[in-house]
A and B are shown apart, each in its own frame.
Chain A
C-alpha cells in the first residue's frame, strides 16, 4: 500500500544532506564544544558554523543566535525569561500550547495576560494588539504562521505596535521556518523561536533569535554555554543538522520550491472542495485571500467526525491530522478553530493537510483518490454522527 505523508506541520523527515552533515559529529568529531583540546575545537567550530548559517537565516548577528532544544523551549524562554509578577502579557488565542500553557503559568504567578482573538479569517488584527496595550505591558508574543490554518500573521505591523509602545516582541516562528523568508529586523521582534524538525532537521534541537540587549533570563542555569543564555552541553550533531537544514531551507525559499508546493496544495484543496459540504478554515476574508504558508490547508467536512476520518485515512495510507489537539486524552476540539468562531461540530469535522516540500503530484493524486471515498463512506454510515458533538 502506498503511504503518503501529509502532516509536515507535525514533523518532517531529515533530508539526506542533513543526515550526511550530522554523521561525523556522533563518533568522529564527538568533542564537547567547551573543551580546550582539538576535539573540543572541532565541535566548537561546527557549532559556530551553524550559528553563522542561522544568523543568515534570521538576518541577525551570530551572537544573537541561541541554540536550544526546540520550539517549546524557545516559547517558554521568552515568557518565563521576561515576565515577572505585575507585568502584562499580550498573546493570542491561536498560539501553540507551548505559549498558552506558559501564559497560564505566569498568570498564576501574578502576570496579567490578555488573549487576542483572531478574526474569522484566522488573522490577528494588529489594532487589537494595540488596543490591549497597558502601561504594564512588557511582552507581546504572536506566532508567524498558524500550525492548523497556515495563516500568516502580520508580524511586521505588530512589531511596529511593539516598537511604538516600547514593549518586547516574541515571534513563535516554528511553523514559518522554511516556509517564509525570515528577517528579524523587518519583523521588528526581540525574540524569535524555531525548531529544526519542522524544516527537515533533527528533533530535539532549535534556535532562538535574541536581539542584543534583550534582558532575558535563562531557563536553565549551569555552565556558561550560549553566552550564559542557555546552559547545557551543546547538542553538536543536532546543531549541525539544524544549520544544514536552515541552509537548504534558504535555497528552497529562492528556487521556486514553495511555488511548486503551493500549486500542489491549491490543487488538493480545489479538488477536495468539489465534495459537497466542505470548506476551508481561514484563509479568506470575504473576497480577499489572507496570506498563508504554501503547504497547509485546513478543511472541514460536514457530517464527518474528523477523528474517525483521520483513522480511516491512516488505515488507507494517508497521514493527516485532525482538528483537535495532538494527544490522547484531549477533550476539546481545536482551540484555534474554535477561536476563529467555528462551532464544535465543524471544528471536530476538520482535517489539516500539510505537505512536505518534497511532495509530488502522485502524492496528491493518491490523497485525492482516498479522501473522497473515505468521506462518502463515513457520511453513508452515520448521517447523524455530527450529533455526537454539541
Chain B
C-alpha cells in the first residue's frame, strides 16, 4: 500500500544522475515512484529554419531518454510514469525565453524550468499521486537549520557540477519537500554507484545544452518557433554605435545580440569589439573594447531569498552572474521593492540582463534574482 508519508517521487530524465538517485533511494528501502516530465516534443520544429529533421539521440525529452528512464525503473522494479507537461513548459519556459530574446535580453530557461516545472509542478504531481516528497539528480545540498528555522541550499561536494545557480528560485516549501541525494557525491562517484547498481547507462554522457534548442542554435530556434506560431519577430533593427556614441553601422534586430558577444557584429575594427549594451527602447546596440564590458554594479529583480527571510540592509556576498562565472565579492543591498543592487569589489565582465544573479555566503545560497 502506498504510504503518503514515505513515498518519494524521483524526477527521472533518463540520464545518469537522476537514474542513480532512483537507484540509491530504491536500494535504501524507500517507496519510490519514477516520473519523467515530458516537456518538449523534439520533433516539433523539425525541418524548419535549420532545425535538423530528426532530433539527435540523448537529448532531454527525446524518446530515447524516456526509454532509458523506463528501463532503469524496470531494472529497479519501481512504478514509473511519464507525465506530459508540454503545455506548461511552453507557457512558462519557452514563451518567456522567446519574449526575452526578442526584447534584447539573454534569458536562462533552466532556472525558469526549475522554478515552474521541475519543482513546483513536480511537487504538485507527486502529491496528486500520493507521494509527499520529490528527489532530483541536481548537484546541491539541502539541509534544515533548526537555529534559523530555514531550509538552507548549499553548494555540493563536486563544485564542477554545482547546480545551485539554477536553483536559487526554490521556496522554503519546495526545499522542505525535496531531496538532492547526489549533493555529497562527485560525478565519478555517481557513475561508480550507477555501475554498482547495474545501471547500463552509467557511462552515458552528460547533457549540456538547453534541452529544447538543438545544437544550441537559438537564432534558428527563434525563427522556427515564430514561424510555427505564425508570428513575426518585432522590428528591432537599429544602429550599431561605439561607446562614444558614434554610429558605426546598422543591425537587423536586437535579438541577434547578447552582452559580451564578439562574433557576428558586422563591422570591421582594428581591435576586437564586443556588445556592451542593448537598448530595447531605441534598438541601439553599443559595442566597444573588452575592457569596457566590465561593470561595477548589477541590479536584480524578482528576488528569492533562501538562507535569509529578507534582505533588509547591506550584506557581504559573493555574486555569481552566469553559470560558468566564479562568484565575485560584492556588497548587496536593497534597492527598492523586490529589487537589489550588488556592488562588486572588482568590476565584472559582461553583466547580462536576463541572466540570474545568485548570491552566496560561503557554501550557502543566500538567494538570487534576475539581472535587469
A89–B127 alpha-carbon span in the complex (Å): 47
* Docked complex: A335-390 residues within 8 A CB-CB of B: 377-378, 381-382, 385, 388-390
| B86 in the interface (beta carbon within 8 A) | yes
* Docked complex: B96-124 residues within 8 A CB-CB of A: 121, 124
Give the size of the chain B interface in residues (CB under 8 angstroms). Answer: 26
Contacts of B291 in A (CB 8 A): none
Check A308 against B125 for contact (C-beta < 8 Å).
yes
Check B79 against A331 for contact (C-beta < 8 Å).
no
* Contact A385 to B130, CB < 8 A, known contacts A315-B79, A329-B38, A331-B41: no
| B318 in the interface (beta carbon within 8 A) | no
| A289 in the interface (beta carbon within 8 A) | no
* Contact A328 to B128, CB < 8 A, known contacts A315-B2, A388-B85: no
Check B82 against A328 for contact (C-beta < 8 Å).
yes
* Contact A305 to B128, CB < 8 A, known contacts A324-B84, A331-B86: yes
| A259 in the interface (beta carbon within 8 A) | no
Check B130 against A312 for contact (C-beta < 8 Å).
yes
A315–B87 alpha-carbon span in the complex (Å): 25
Check B36 against A328 for contact (C-beta < 8 Å).
yes
| B33 in the interface (beta carbon within 8 A) | yes
Contacts of A378 in B (CB 8 A): 128
Contacts of B79 in A (CB 8 A): 314-315
Interface residues of chain B: helix, strand, loop or mixed (majority): mixed
Contacts of A15 in B (CB 8 A): none
Contacts of B57 in A (CB 8 A): none
Give the size of the chain A interface in residues (CB under 8 angstroms). Answer: 23
| A21 in the interface (beta carbon within 8 A) | no
* Docked complex: A140-169 residues within 8 A CB-CB of B: none
A74 to chain B, nearest CB (A): 26
* Docked complex: A274-320 residues within 8 A CB-CB of B: 305, 307-309, 311-312, 314-316
Check A328 against B130 for contact (C-beta < 8 Å).
no
A316–B128 alpha-carbon span in the complex (Å): 12
Q: Among A305, A307, A311, A328, point to the contact of B66 (Cβ < 8 A).
A: A328
Check B84 against A331 for contact (C-beta < 8 Å).
yes
Choose among A328, A330, A388, A389 the residue with the greatest number of B CB atoms under 10 Å from its CB.
Answer: A328
Q: Among A316, A381, A388, point to the contact of B88 (Cβ < 8 A).
A: A388
A interface with B by C-beta (< 8 Å): 1, 305, 307-309, 311-312, 314-316, 324, 328-331, 377-378, 381-382, 385, 388-390
B interface with A by C-beta (< 8 Å): 1-2, 7, 33, 36, 38, 41, 63, 66, 70, 79, 81-88, 121, 124-125, 127-130
The 4 closest A-B pairs by CB, nearest first: A328-B82, A308-B128, A311-B129, A312-B129
27 sampled A-B residue pairs with Cβ under 8 A? A1-B1, A305-B128, A307-B84, A308-B125, A308-B128, A311-B33, A311-B81, A311-B83, A311-B129, A312-B128, A315-B2, A315-B79, A316-B130, A324-B84, A328-B36, A328-B38, A328-B70, A329-B41, A329-B82, A331-B38, A377-B128, A381-B124, A381-B127, A381-B128, A388-B87, A388-B88, A389-B87
